[in-house]
Structure 1
Amino acid sequence: MSDATDADGLTVGQVSARLGVTVRALHHWDEIGLACPSLRTAAGYRLYTASDLERLHRVVVYREIGLGLDRIRVVLDHPATDVPGALRAQRAQVAERIDRLQRLGAGLDRMIEAHERGLLLTVEQQADVFGPDWDPDGPAQARGKYGDTTQWRQYAERAASRGPEEWRAVADATAAVDRALGDAMDAGVAPGSPEANRLVERHREVFGAYFPLTRQMQVCLGRMYETDPGFAAHYDGIRPGLAQWFRRAVDASARTHGIDPDTATWQ
């Protein structure tokens, strides 16, 4: 490194401001021998010449397109390097990242929409999946009622990744457990019996397609199924008296797990 006066080159700070590169980065490139100042003043300050600045420009350009420092060194210092080939390889990597980011963006859009709407199906798809009696306004009403809850957020996270076929599987599983409950009641299965307890657990597992359901939360659902006119009509439409039978079955199952149904809360 030659000695020089301040007028012979630019200081680290001046180069940092001119190129938009941090002083720390310039020091690092100097330390690893990638882009070093050629001059030093009598006071020991490092100065970059016009030639040094040109090399730095190239380092910055290659770094901005994503080349690593080791690869930049090869491109700059080895005449036999296939620079177009290296750039094409980098272009392919950039294209892959762009595609990944676009897919990530699409996923974020669906997640946002799921949090805002709940069910990402058209009215026609909803009718096809859930049947002609399905109320397409139901998800919006649920959003207005439960949108600030943890369970709505969990539901939205599941809904964001589901299309018609995934929802059809959920609807079929729900309908199957509803039929099984009705059949059990018809067969005289007693709440609290092993068979009834297995059905209560099956209901809890199937309901987990919407959000994780604890046993205490299931007790609260059982109350709502019996007292809410809409839910009661649904279950009693499967079998008269099923809403009450299911509530009794859930309460009995809860007691076997040390839960008092009379004091159970949504937790």
Structure 2
Amino acid sequence: MKVKEVAKLTGISVRTLHHYDEIGLLSPERQYESGYREYTDENLETLQQILFFRELGFPLKKIKDVLNSPAFDRREALLMQKKMLLEKRSRLDQMIRLVEKSIQHAEGEIKMTNEEKFEGFDFSHNPYEKEARERWGNKAVDRSNAKLAGMSEEEQEAMTKKMNDIYKQLAGLRQELPASEKAQSAIKEWYDFLNNNFGNYSLEAFKGLGQMYVADERFTKNIDQFGEGLAQFMCDAMAVFADKNK
């Protein structure tokens, strides 16, 4: 399909599609001597992925990082997007109910208590823990929480220092190939650290955690404090490590 046909099919402007091409997010695969470029079915599947991620609020740079990752799996991405969209729908339904009640309260039809005015908001949960429980089960998270609770302040500080040291070591290697001996040696240290301190991580869970480093901007922001692009580098190195050690 030519760019105008794709624009008509999807409702996306030609200008937007050209922008995706310019930034390397989505480029038509076929180009002819006439200068015309055509989108393949695979291109359209990639575009669908982009639009799902956009709906979920992912910035274009983050979408590009996710799609270009060697660890990217389309089926797994679709399952994750479905879960996130269902959660978004649930939150929106809850907020709509709160708005409707607030309208009735403003019009004098009902009387809301102060507690009811804020029952649709929830900032108390830990999104990292929720994601971890859903991916790897409650037992792993509970073991991690129990271990942290049983540590003294000095032990927790020592563990944090060790974790930061590994991040710094990996940040210094992020220009290496993820499959290089140095990178794989450092990522093994990270794998061992997680298993020694936060329960038993299977190779599959370890690979999935790496994918979260680039799929979730909260992780990316924290990890990239040690060096721009570290989250992506760790994601790629963790995927290589998991696949090599199966």
After TM superposition, the score normalised by the length of structure 2 is 0.44
Greater length-normalized contact order (CA 8 Å, ≥ 6 residues apart): 2
Larger Rg belongs to? 1
